[in-house]
Amino acid sequence: MIGVFDSGFGGLTVLAALRRHLPQYDYLFLADSARAPYGARSFDVIHEFTLEAVEWLFNEGCTLVVLACNTASARALRTIQQRHLPARRPDRRVLGVVRPSVEALAGLPPGAIPGVTQPSLTEGTVAVVGTEGTIASDSFGIELRKLAPRLELLQQACPLWVPLVEAGETEGPGADWFLHRYLDPLLAAPRPPRRLLLGCTHYPLLLPGIRRIVPAAVEVLTQGEIVATRLADWLARHPDHEARLTRGGARRIVTTDDPAWFAGASSRFLGEKLEVGRARLSPVA
């Protein structure tokens, strides 16, 4: 079973993309919505919360977990991969959204090795929009400088986009005003971007409006599609892990908050009525 974790609703867009591209597998989605958002929390707290979620998913039978959360991917993934898994869960894997997103932003093939695989877009300008916490962490910039140091990266925090999405205000003059507020400075840059990454899993719900504003020549990348296509490649390159995944096309969604509230508020992310269960996370010793 593949576990998908997010602190809130946005990871449902990643889950939807995974099920479109890889429908044969079973999925368990966990939202730590009782403690969301993660962005303003300290590094140690984000790591603690993320590790609790990962261990809960492992205990429920997941052999592979995708952190569909930019904050958790940027601030907790590496420590979990390098310290926790080798010591406690050597047979399990945890993947994130930042590295595959940056590979796509740079035009790199999946699993690219810095200095070996050359990007198709070796110079010019690319851009990322994200939450304040994600942009402040410079997680995309750090990874991009490793993979494609000649690319110029424009970064724009969009603090009001997530509230728009969670309020269901994704279309109309009000939404368009907030889209222009953050996109216009990027498009007016001396060297406008050739690719734009939506670096938050909420933002695909704003894609129609974004696409109306951004010139057609600019490629707009969404993390759900990136993660799904690159996970398919990862599984093909790791057949031992792929063979352990259960296949039944099942989907289970749980939250650490009230399930009825989460189901009502999150249905717009998948366009259907959701059945949601309750999860109780515990500290990891």
**Pairwise CA distance, residues 258 & 240, whole Å:** 37
**Whole-angstrom Cα distance, residue 99 to residue 230?**
10
Specify the pairing of strand 219-222 against strand 251-255. Answer: unpaired
- Report the alpha-carbon distance of residue 200 to residue 186 in Å, rounded: 17
Total Cβ atoms within 10 A of residue 270 = 17
3-state SS class at 157 = strand
Q: Which of 46, 68, 69, 175 is catalytic?
A: 69
Which value, in Å, is the radius of gyration of the alpha carbons in the chain?
A: 18
71 near 7, Cβ under 8 Å? Answer: yes
Specify whether 69 is catalytic: yes
Q: Note if the bond before 114 is cis, omega within 30 degrees.
A: no
| Helix or strand (DSSP H, E) at 138 | none
Q: From the candidates 200, 205, 227, 228, which is the catalytic residue? A: 200
Report the catalytic residues.
Answer: 69, 200
